[in-house]
């Protein structure tokens, strides 16, 4: 079921009109002031950052895209190669599918093409209310040799999905518990 949903997400984004041309992004609130004589040397601007002990060329994360299907493996590998080349971080899509079916772990395993990046595993925080706990979080991190774990929060998506998990109660103390006991951030 989860594997088919992941494949549906990819298919919909590739084949259907998913753009909302008039949706505000927040960027329309900003107006740049013209600086004809900025008095800086652009070559001296340094965007590098340190995040979770890893050097990044810029404060950017390619995050939480996909996984769990054969088609997703190629996407994750390409994104990981781009992250490695550009020196930015990457987070995979939710690894829940691979925790439930370990034969799908390969679709998330990108370390071989991106040995140096800050790599983030990912699980839905709501799964902490559906039997997941510290052990599943550890397995998620170990499965992809991640440097940290994202526990994503997406209540609207869960409510709109036909088989979504909608018990969002008591998540904060569970997230706190995981963060105190997991060996990575």
- The answer, yes or no, to whether residue 9 has pLDDT greater than 80, is no
Q: Which tens digits make up the pLDDT trace of 125-142?
A: 999 999 999 999 999 999
Task: Tell me which of 16-20, 68-72, 98-102, 156-160 is least confident.
Answer: 16-20
User: What CA–CA distances, in Å, run from 40 to 18, 34, 43, 58, 156?
Assistant: 41, 14, 9, 19, 44
Assess contact for 84 and 111: CB atoms under 8 A: no
Task: Tell me which of 25-29, 59-63, 109-113, 116-120 is least confident.
Answer: 25-29
Tokens 């088919």: give the residue: 4
- The answer, yes or no, to whether residue 3 has pLDDT greater than 80, is no
Output the six-digit token pair for 65: 């895209």
- The answer, yes or no, to whether residue 1 has pLDDT greater than 70, is no
Distance of alpha carbon 13 from alpha carbon 10, whole angstroms: 5
pLDDT, position 4: 77
Of 178, 61, 57, 75, nearest to 129 by C-alpha is 178
| Mean pLDDT, residues 104-117 | 98
| Mean pLDDT, residues 100-125 | 98
pLDDT, position 57: 98
Displacement of CA 92 from its chain's centroid (Å):
5
pLDDT, position 20: 81
- The answer, yes or no, to whether residue 10 has pLDDT greater than 90, is no
- Say which CATH superfamily domain 58-185 falls into: Aldolase class I (3.20.20.70)
Of 103, 93, 97, nearest to 146 by C-alpha is 93
Distance of alpha carbon 177 from alpha carbon 147, whole angstroms: 18
Banded pLDDT at 114 (limits 50, 70, 90) = very high
Percent of the chain at pLDDT exceeding 70: 98
pLDDT, position 8: 78
Ranges of each domain in the chain: 58-185
Which position has the higher pLDDT, 23 or 49? 49
pLDDT, position 125: 98
């Amino acid at each position: 079921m989860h594997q088919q949903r992941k494949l549906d997400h990819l298919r919909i984004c590739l084949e259907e009109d998913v753009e909302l041309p008039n949706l505000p992004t927040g960027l329309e609130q900003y107006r740049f002031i013209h600086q004809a004589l900025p008095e800086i040397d652009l070559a001296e601007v340094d965007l590098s950052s340190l995040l979770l002990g890893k050097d990044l060329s810029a404060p950017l994360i390619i995050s939480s895209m996909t996984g769990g299907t054969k088609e997703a493996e190629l996407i994750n590998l390409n994104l990981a190669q781009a992250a490695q080349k550009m020196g930015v971080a990457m987070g995979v899509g939710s690894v829940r599918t691979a925790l439930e079916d370990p034969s799908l772990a390969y679709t998330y395993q990108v370390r071989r093409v991106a040995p140096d990046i800050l790599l983030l595993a990912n699980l839905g925080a709501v799964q902490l209310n559906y039997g997941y706990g510290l052990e599943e979080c550890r397995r998620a991190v170990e499965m992809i040799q991640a440097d940290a774990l994202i526990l994503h929060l997406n209540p609207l998506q869960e409510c709109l999905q036909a088989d979504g998990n909608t018990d969002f109660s008591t998540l904060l103390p569970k997230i706190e518990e995981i963060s105190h006991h997991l060996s990575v951030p």
